[in-house]
């Protein structure tokens, strides 16, 4: 059965192409999925005009893309060993990704004409096949990725010496920490005992203060005894005078 393809079918045909295919394949797969239609004269002419318009539009888009890409430089970093040989390789996917980072344009990796992956440092001129007679070229430079410098043995020793006192200080602080905690716990335990002692002392001082006014009353007793003594002395003196008169 002769059909005209409405869409690209991988490994079979491209859109707009007229081709003879198996009847079952056309009826059961291509036509129900609208991937192709019967190659009738009217349908063929309609599809041909449509495909020509699509081709013109696609060609203009590809030409514009080619003008934006032409002469662009892309740099990729990779680890390399002896004789500038890469440990891995640079593929078309790597180039497409970096080209998108540089230009902001999405490029299909299948458009990049790279016969084999790049396995050595250097600069390469690579073409992109965007369409018929549309092959812009870009420059790809592969440079060595700088390895991280490892510290020497002397530097390691110096760093260890510097770290040693800090570690000792930390250990000393950790040892002091439980002691200070014990002291704080002791103070907390002693606090209520001190409060009790202070309360007892206050009570004692209060009792002393209460007793002091009673002690002041004693001199009053002393004054009574002195008066009695004075009376006795006066009485004795009076008797003595009477006796003298009688004599």
Rounded to the nearest integer, the mean pLDDT of the chain is: 79
Supply the pTM of this predicted model. Answer: 0.46
Task: Report the C-alpha gap between 147 and 213 in whole angstroms.
Answer: 98
**Model confidence over 73-121: pLDDT tens digits?**
999 999 988 888 998 899 999 999 999 998 888 888 999 999 899 999 9
Residue 71 has pLDDT above 80, yes or no: yes
CATH number for the 70-144 domain, one of 3.40.50.720, 3.10.430.100, 3.30.2230.10, 3.30.1280.10?
3.10.430.100
Least confident of 177-181, 188-192, 214-218: 214-218
Q: Which one is predicted more confidently, 22 or 226?
A: 22
- Residue 217 pLDDT grade (very low, low, confident, very high; cuts 50, 70, 90): very low
Q: Which one is predicted more confidently, 164 or 64?
A: 64
Superfamily (CATH H level) for 2-67: Ribosomal protein L9, N-terminal domain (3.40.5.10)
Task: Report the C-alpha gap between 198 and 190 in whole angstroms.
Answer: 12
- Burial label for 103, CB within 10 Å (0-12, 13-18, 19+), is middle
Task: Report the C-alpha gap between 16 and 7 in whole angstroms.
Answer: 7
Residue ranges per structural domain of the chain: 2-67, 70-144, 152-214
- Mean pLDDT is highest, among 36-45, 67-76, 215-224, for 67-76
**Model confidence over 120-162: pLDDT tens digits?**
999 999 999 988 888 999 999 999 987 655 556 666 666 666 7
- Scored b (16 or more CB within 10 A) or e, 212-247 reads eeeeeeeeeeeeeeeeeeeeeeeeeeeeeeeeeeee
């Amino acid at each position: 059965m002769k059909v005209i393809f409405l869409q690209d079918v991988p490994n079979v045909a491209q859109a707009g192409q007229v081709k003879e295919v198996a009847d079952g394949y056309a009826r059961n797969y291509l036509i129900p999925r609208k991937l192709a239609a019967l190659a009738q004269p009217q349908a063929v002419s309609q599809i041909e005009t449509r495909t020509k318009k699509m081709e013109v539009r696609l060609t203009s888009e590809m030409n514009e893309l080619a003008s934006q890409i032409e002469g662009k430089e892309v740099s990729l970093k990779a680890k390399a060993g002896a004789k500038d040989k890469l440990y891995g390789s640079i593929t078309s996917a790597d180039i497409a990704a970096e080209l998108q980072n540089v230009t902001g344009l999405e490029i299909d990796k299948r458009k990049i004409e790279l016969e084999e992956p790049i396995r050595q440092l250097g600069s390469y001129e690579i073409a992109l096949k965007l369409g018929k007679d549309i092959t812009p070229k870009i420059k790809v430079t592969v440079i060595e990725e700088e390895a991280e410098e490892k510290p020497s043995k002397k530097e390691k020793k110096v760093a260890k010496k510097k770290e040693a006192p800090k570690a000792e200080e930390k250990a000393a602080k950790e040892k002091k920490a439980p002691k200070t905690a014990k002291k704080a716990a002791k103070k907390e335990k002693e606090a209520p005992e001190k409060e009790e002692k202070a309360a007892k002392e206050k009570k004692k001082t209060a009792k002393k203060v209460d007793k002091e006014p009673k002690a002041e009353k004693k001199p009053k007793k002393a004054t009574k005894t002195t008066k009695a003594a004075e009376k006795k002395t006066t009485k004795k003196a009076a008797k003595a005078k009477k006796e003298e008169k009688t004599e």
